[in-house]
Structure 1
Amino acid sequence: MDMVSISSAPRSVEDIFKDYSSRRSALVRALTADVEEFYGLCDPDKENLCLYGHPSGAWEVTLPAEEVPPELPEPALGINFARDGMNRKDWLSLVAVHSDSWLLSVAFFFGARLNGNERKRLFSLINDLSTVFEVLADRKQGKDRSGVDSGSKSRHSTKRSSDGHTKNSSRAVNEGYGEDDEEHSETLCGSCGGNYNSNEFWIGAIYARGGTTGSV
């Protein structure tokens, strides 16, 4: 755990934001890329453990500082105790929320001597970055969305194949009807010798020739 003396603490808005960004990056890495290592270090059988993010970009799971009061605000104590009693994702999210709270407390601890406008500027810079919790949530949603997209693509491919089969079947049926129509169009009228038209009443040809019929 790094010990920061008051004399060497970052003073300007830019320096405080740089310190915040480095600590944040360390915590994000602990909960994402290095999550298996982090999870293993949080043994519930050990004493109160804390997750620290250092200005160097390194993270550390260790005991809290012994100094009272401490040089810096302390992160949440005993994050290891709840590890096995919670859903893994929920536990990581809880650690992320506490980590965000700690990052802000450290940043504004360093910014205690800033004036109002400088504090607003510092908060604006910090607020432009995603929180540790947001990074973790986006990562989870991305994995969930990837699974959903794969399923959707599979269903879409099946639907396209089914539609193609349906269209081909419809085309075959329509062509069959076309052949039947051609056969009907070549039928000759037995009375007048003309082509039979299915839209005309057959007896009309007889009357057209002046003929009569005894029965219909």
Structure 2
Amino acid sequence: MEGGGSGHYNPRTVEEVFKDFRGRRAGMIKALTTEVDKFYQQCDPEKENLCLYGFPNESWEVNLPAEEVPPELPEPALGINFARDGMQEKDWLSLVAVHSDAWLLAVAFYFGARFGFDKNDRKRLFNMMNDLPTIFEVVTGVAKKQAREKSTITTNSSNKSKSNAKMPSRQPESQPKSTKTPPPKDDESGDEDEDEHGDALCGACGENYASDEFWICCDVCERWFHGKCVKITPARAEHIKQYKCPACSNKRARV
């Protein structure tokens, strides 16, 4: 549909607005990371002003802006396609990411203003959003770098050479080396495991590690992903000798 940011969903509470924010954010992160080839192709500089929209259901769309003025929702940055071939791809993606972060904040606080959030509600909403890495931090790898720097304080520096396990933190020696799922936490080591796992971020959605979720690591770029984000199940992972994430699988030279 034209004006991809429009719709009839109107979250009315802080929790609903944050859920809306997270869904739109996840969709835009997909466009700029795991589905970047598809996004790149849709941003043809020969087309009219195009925008990147994220939706509450974690999908995304490149489309023309809304025709009505003012639009039902704030509009993303216009003309993101025009700069696609005029700068290095990583710089272009980073620039789109920055504008995407600004749009997400605009949409969230638009809902807050529309439904009369007071000072405390606005502050709580911002704090909830600010606890997540920005799209820019995820796309540029800053979030991953920050998590790595924190984890080095508690993680054995020789851990990587000792284990090929598909886990976002140190693996107990008793665990099989080939497992692609996080080890179960026992009562004695639960706090320590939580500290070490807590800084791991999914390369697709940017969310933190959770002990009850299946994770897998790309053997090429060494980024961690929720299995659900890259459509890999624990059963399927057991038959993968070398896992490549969607970005590494589709990576090819561009002129």
Task: Tell me the C-alpha RMSD between the 2 structures.
Answer: 1.9
Alignment of 1:77-92 (within 5 A): 77-92=78-93
Give the superposition deviation at 1:3.
2.6
Deviations 1:106-157 (Å, cap 9, x if unpaired)?
Answer: 0000011100000000000000000000001117977xx9xxxxxxxxxxxx
Question: Residues 93-112 of structure 1: matches in 2 within 5 Å?
Answer: 93-112=94-113
Give SS of 2:52's match: strand
Distance change >3 Å, CA 104–CA 140, structure 1 → 2: closer
Structure 2: segments with no counterpart, 5+ residues: 149-255
- How many residue pairs were aligned? 142
Instruction: Give the unaligned 5+ runs of structure 1.
Output: 146-216
From the two aligned structures, give the one with the greater helix fraction: 1
Report the TM-score when normalising by structure 2.
0.53
Deviation at 1:77, TM superposition (A): 0.2
Q: d(CA) in 1 for partners of 2:143 and 2:74?
A: 29
Aligned to 1:119: 122
Q: Write the distance in 2 (CA, Å) between the matches of 1:82 and 1:135.
A: 21
Alignment map for 1:13-28 (pairs within 5 Å): 13-28=14-29
CA, structure 1 residues 24+140, in 2 after alignment: closer, same or farther (shift >3 Å)? closer
1-side partners of 2:70 and 2:17: how far apart? 21
Distance change (3 Å), C-alpha of 1:103 and 1:2: closer
Percent identical among aligned pairs is 63
Superposed CA offset, 1:60-116 (max 9, x none): 000000011100000000000000000110000000000000000000000111000
Aligned to 1:163: none
Distance 1:32 1:44 in 2: 20
Aligned to 2:75: 74
For normalisation by structure 1, the TM-score amounts to: 0.63
3-state SS of the aligned residue for 1:84? coil
Distance 2:91 2:122 in 1: 32
Does the 8 Å contact 2:74/2:107 carry over to 1?
Answer: yes
Stretches of 4+ moved more than 3 A in 1?
Answer: 139-142
